[in-house]
Amino acid sequence: MWWRFDTILIQEPMAIFSYLAALVGLVFILGESKNPFLQKFFHYAPPLIWTYFLPMLSTTFGIIPDQSSLYDFTSAYILPVGLLLLLLSANVPATLKLGPKAITMFLAGTLGVVIGGPIALAIFQPFLPEDAWTGVAALAGSWIGGSANMAAMIEATGTPKEILSPIIVVDTVVGYSWMGIMIALAGFQHKFDKWNKADNSIIRKVNEDMGELQRKNSKPIEVPYLAAIIGLGFGVAYVVRKFSETLPVTNVLSAGTWTIMIISAVGIIFSFTKIRTLENYGASKIGYAGIYLLLATIGAKADLAYVWDSPQYVAMGIVWLAIHVIIIFLVARLLRAPLFFVAVGSQGNIGGTSSAPVVASVFQPSLAPVGLLMGILGNVVGTYAAVACAWMAEWVSRTL
């Protein structure tokens, strides 16, 4: 293709890491600019979207590869570090004050994914290969919990590469486009809540209380505490990962799934101990930096060339996501739920632990841990729900 380099320009893992880190840093520096044009631009297209989209373009143009040991390392170690440091700030008692609506909205989103996949497959089956249902199973795993659940479903159903490649593009292009839309909708949450007659007073109260607590205890980052935060994050993540590799592996549980489940439990336990004081010195900020780098590597795995080669997969993904969106908004209307619950409920499914806390923080700055807890819930129920979706998709494939 004339617009693509014949040879990948950057291939060495450390060079790829440097390139992606520079991209992420540049995007966020520009996002903090006082320039009126840049402020308006990033208001409608927040930096987080470009953290994912620019690496995708880089892969598409042949600057970096769509596969690298760096991406595997980031998923295996950087993600657990980020989750652990974010969960240090989790205030579980305060989160529980949000009530059962948050969980209900999450489960509504799960239902939309489970039934949306088979319905979309039934519509597009004539344009897809016979074993396309295995791709539906893989995407269901990703859209109810994240990459660990996706890996489990790929292993369980034996998704072939020719189906997996466009499915990964659908996962990133369609899934993260929806995340971008949700981020953009954050500016309209008050209008939506007023139209929906939703009571978001509890959300505001919890957000203010947690924000005030963070401001009261916040201290400048000092080298000893910075070293302690990094040491704790990588030390615990490494031990948990190696321990997880010794645990039984099934179609439902992989080493990656075990790692996410265990590191999440450890992080929540730490939030009840004195280790939580590391949050006063910026633990969650360092955790976010890790998550942003993870999002950059996720974007780098997607080659937009597959969109042109397999538009039917993208169309199927759009219909599937539309079913999820319709169901979760219908339930929100019935429950008079605030848009914040729609956002964290949807992203807890579609985005998982990597993006749900980011979206939550855009809506309510101090409630990122709520999004993270939703993502963790997605990890827990995701594989089981994805198995149900896979069973129905396989039935659709045999029947039509």
Q: What is the DSSP string of 301-357?
A: T--THHHHH-HHHHHHHHHHHHHHHHHHHHHHHHHT--HHHHHHHHHHHHTGGGTHH
Please report the pLDDT score of residue 250 as a whole number.
62
Question: How far apart are the C-alpha atoms of 202 and 306, rounded to whole Å?
Answer: 45
Whether the pLDDT of residue 382 is over 80: the answer is: no
Say which amino acid occupies 16. I
The top-scoring range by mean pLDDT among 92-96, 99-103, 272-276, 354-358 is 272-276
Mean pLDDT in residue range 311-318: 91
Residue written as tokens 């990133």? 172
Which parts of 74-100 fold into alpha helices (H)? 79-87, 92-96
Q: What share of the chain is helix, strand, coil (3-state, %, to 5)?
A: 80, 0, 20
For residue 282, how many C-alpha atoms fall within 13 Å in the half-sphere facing its CB? 15
The rounded distance, in Å, linking the Cα atoms of 149 and 141 is 5
Q: How many C-beta atoms surround the C-beta of residue 83 within 10 A?
A: 29
Over range 332-360, report the average pLDDT.
85
pTM for the full predicted model: 0.69
Does 125 score more than 70 pLDDT?
yes
**Alpha-carbon distance 373 to 380, whole Å?**
11
Find out whether 24 and 267 touch, Cβ atoms under 8 Å. Answer: no
Q: Are 296 and 24 in contact (CB under 8 A)?
A: yes
Q: What is the pLDDT of residues 245-297, one digit of tens each?
A: 898 876 546 677 688 778 878 888 888 888 888 888 888 888 878 878 887 88
The per-residue pLDDT for 117 is 93
What's CA 75's distance to the chain center, in Å? 12
Residue 257's pLDDT is 66
Q: What is the pLDDT of residue 22?
A: 94
Query: Can you tell me the distance from the alpha carbon of 30 to that of 37, in angstroms, rounded to the nearest whole number?
Result: 11
Average confidence score pLDDT of the chain:
82
CB 260 within 8 A of CB 353: yes
Mean pLDDT, range 330-338, rounded to an integer: 93
**What is the 8-class DSSP label of residue 77?**
I
Per-residue pLDDT band for 64 (boundaries 50, 70, 90) equals very high
Of the two residues 160 and 206, the one the predictor is more confident about is 160
Running DSSP on this structure, what letter comes out for residue 126? G
- By C-alpha distance, which of 380, 284, 368 is closest to 82? 284
pLDDT number for residue 131: 86
When pLDDT is cut at 50, 70 and 90, the band that residue 150 belongs to is confident
Angstrom distances, CA of residue 338 to CA of 162, 201, 211: 41, 10, 19
**Mean pLDDT value of segment 300-317:** 81
Position 185 scores a pLDDT of: 85
328: pLDDT confidence band, cut at 50, 70 and 90?
very high
Confidence of residue 63 (pLDDT cuts 50, 70, 90): very high
pLDDT at 30 over 80: yes
- Rounded to an integer, the average pLDDT of 43-59 is 79
Lowest mean pLDDT of 48-52, 211-215, 355-359, name the range: 211-215
Quote the CA–CA distance of 89 and 369 in Å, as a whole number: 7
How high is the pLDDT of residue 283? 86
Give the integer Cα–Cα distance in Å for 303 and 173.
Answer: 10
What is the three-class DSSP state of 3?
A: coil
Write down the pLDDT at residue 380: 66
Find the farthest-apart pair of alpha carbons in the chain and give their distance in angstroms, rounded: 63
Most confident of 119-133, 178-192, 259-273, 320-334: 320-334
The mean pLDDT of 13-29, rounded to a whole number, is 93
In terms of average pLDDT, the best of 4-8, 31-35, 197-201, 316-320 is 316-320
The ranges assigned to domains in the chain are 13-398
User: In the predicted model, is pLDDT for residue 72 greater than 80?
Assistant: yes
The whole-angstrom separation of Cα 354 and Cα 358 is 8
pLDDT in tens, 272-283: 888 888 888 888
Per-residue CA distances from 246 to 154, 357, 385 (Å): 21, 29, 25
CATH 2.60.40, domain 13-398, yes or no: no
* Amino acid at site 57: L
What is the per-residue pLDDT for 301?
77
- Phi-psi category of residue 296: left, alpha or beta, with phi > 0 → left and psi -120 to 50 → alpha: alpha
pLDDT at 397: 86
